[in-house]
Amino acid sequence: MTRSFRAGAAGVVRLAGLLIFPSFCHICREPLEEAGEKIVCGACLAKLAPRGGPICPRCGRFHEGSGGDHLCARCAGRAPAFSAHRSCGVYGGTLRDVILIFKYRKYAPLSRPLARFADSCLGADQTLWENADLLVPVPLHPSRKRDRGFNQSLLLARDLGLRRGLGVLTGALVKTRNRPAQAGLRAADRERNVRSAYAVKHADKVQGRTIILVDDVTTTGATIRECARVLKEAGAKEVRAITLAQA
């Protein structure tokens, strides 16, 4: 069998595969042709862009307009238990599309390009990474995890940990109450909803550690504030947080 015949045969097999099992980008519907493309094509992933502009250096909330970073009114009044939170972008456009496909359509392999995106946006921000010991994903309640099949924050933390050379601690921070999902609740209700919803089970694993919480999306920040509060109470030295997007 000649090389060109073999190459031709491989092409026919691949074409047949595409015809029988066509795979298309879940966002733009173009066929996935490049090696390694899964679920969302490279062109759509290339549209993920970090948000620039001023932020609150404490809670990471994006400020409108231009100018420098400055504390938001909320952090100026009462600082959260975490020392810094950073998001990659605003929850909208392609970032929102990719997160929704990842989370609700359960396409776990998307955690890899999303972690790569997070690292490219925030990898240089030493406020987040300096002397960090561990990544801790925001946990799901066991029953919700059963429904969804996976914890998207854990997958993200694992891929981010591989990129940053950081271990991922699971099972220490747990969700103890299965309150309604935050989506759809007003800000005040979100605060009430997460209160006492998280606990630390193995305080020895967090004591004296500098921890980075990992979550996919933050809206009011209620979840990461509450997780940071219980981790600090359990003896964590410092808690920081990273999210893909803020709504």
**What residue ranges bind Zn ion (CB under 5 A)?**
25, 27-28, 41, 44, 56, 58-59, 72, 75
CB of 167 to Zn ion, least distance (A): 28
Nearer to Zn ion, 72 or 81 (CB): 72
User: Helix H segments across 152-235?
Assistant: 152-164, 187-194, 222-233
Give, in order, the Cα–Cα distances in Å from 217 to each of 5, 31, 152, 209, 222. 50, 28, 10, 24, 11
CB of 82 to Zn ion, least distance (A): 10
CB of 147 to Zn ion, least distance (A): 28
Q: What distance, in Å, lies between the first and last C-alpha atoms of the chain? A: 58
CB of 51 to Zn ion, least distance (A): 15
Q: Which two structure tokens, joined as six digits, stand for 199?
A: 């606990």
Using DSSP's 3-state secondary structure scheme, residue 200 falls into strand
Nearer to Zn ion, 3 or 29 (CB): 29
Give, in order, the Cα–Cα distances in Å from 157 to each of 13, 88, 140, 164, 209. 37, 15, 14, 10, 17
CB of 83 to Zn ion, least distance (A): 12
Nearer to Zn ion, 1 or 46 (CB): 46
89: Cβ contacts below 8 Å, ≥ 6 apart: 48, 49, 50, 51, 95, 121, 244, 245
Nearer to Zn ion, 1 or 73 (CB): 73
* CB distance 214 to 135 below 8 Å: yes
Distance CA 42, CA 58 (A): 33
CB burial readout 175-185, b (16+ within 10 A) else e: beeebeebeeb
Q: Which two structure tokens, joined as six digits, stand for 23?
A: 């795979």
CB of 16 to Zn ion, least distance (A): 23
Nearer to Zn ion, 18 or 199 (CB): 18
198: Cβ contacts below 8 Å, ≥ 6 apart: 139, 173, 174, 175, 176, 226, 227, 230
Nearer to Zn ion, 17 or 42 (CB): 42
Nearer to Zn ion, 98 or 155 (CB): 98
8-state DSSP, 91: S
CB of 210 to Zn ion, least distance (A): 20
